[in-house]
Chains A and B, each alone.
Chain A
Amino acid sequence: MIYSLLILSSPFSGDCSRTAAAFARCAIARGHTVHRVFFLDTGTLASAANSVSAQDEDTALQSWAELADLHSVELAICITSALKHGMFDQTEADRNKCPFSTMDPAFTMSGLGQLVDAYASSDRLITFGG
């Protein structure tokens, strides 16, 4: 089955972002495809490259980056939400005169059209958070 995920909540409040990443891992382990993970609204904070957590705490960012790295899962960030939350890739950092990118490179800047494409091309769209 082809899944896509929509992430609406911040990884810093509640466990929705981590649960979503765990869901994606399990789906892939069972032979399903995760077509795309789309991050919207406060969900975009999952891409925060400069967030520092307690040393003994796993971060949602690690889980997402592993999914992108090991299973080539596409992590698409809504550009409007991202900019609002201060998440810049290098292009947006340059455009907004920010000296450095604030977004982890595992994530890709994207638009809401990619969310529409995600549900149009998937058997299931699972929403996390909200």
Chain B
Amino acid sequence: MGIRLKIFTGFMILAIMLLIAGFISIHEFMNIGNYVQKLLDDNYRSIEASGTMVEALEREDSGILLLLMGNWEEGRKILKEGDDLFNKGFSSAENNLTIPGEHKYVERIKQDYNIYKKTWERPIVGTDKEGNFEWYYNKSHQMFLQIKESVKQLMEINQETMYKTGSDLKNRSQRAVMPGIVAIIAAVVFTLLFNYFINFYIAKPIVHLTRGIEEYNNTGEIFKFTSETSDEIGRLTNAIKEMLQSLTYK
């Protein structure tokens, strides 16, 4: 292989190392962006929806208490608002099923809520339920706790996935940064190695050759130095040697 090709290969290797490292880093950084978006789209929206549903359920529980105390108008108003808020949260969760098995949690919430809703949809004020706190604690409140637990489970599964995605993000960021660090270290080591080879196989023979010619001029003695390579330097050394030999014999 000729000197030009050797030097070109050296620089090409250096360029390839840096280019690939750059490409991988960019690719991983773009992935991080996608992951953040995924984190927001997939999990944060469901967690927010769960929070809305919990808030709605708590309002409805308060509404039932107001009805029990005979405050029909205020109670029905809060229950209506709570129901609207719950449906809004539920609809958001239902349209954002991104985790395997998440649909089962949503389905359970739907079933539990339908049962719960039946307890307060029927009249309370003016019936035997009014002021009946035993009915409230044993039935209505128990159902409230049950559905709240189902919503919390949905929230937890999303939080767990969000934590996992967050941990993945940490790994992704390392995967994005490390190629750059490795490329810098590799490039430094490679440059030193490249410099050593250039010095040993190109610069050093030229120095030896120059000294040999100078010595020939001074003493008329042909140098004994031989090149290890068969590239341009090797051929030049042999050519000069032959030339000096022919000059000597003339």
A, B co-complexed: no
Residues of A near any B CB (own CB < 8 A) = none
Residues of B near any A CB (own CB < 8 A) = none
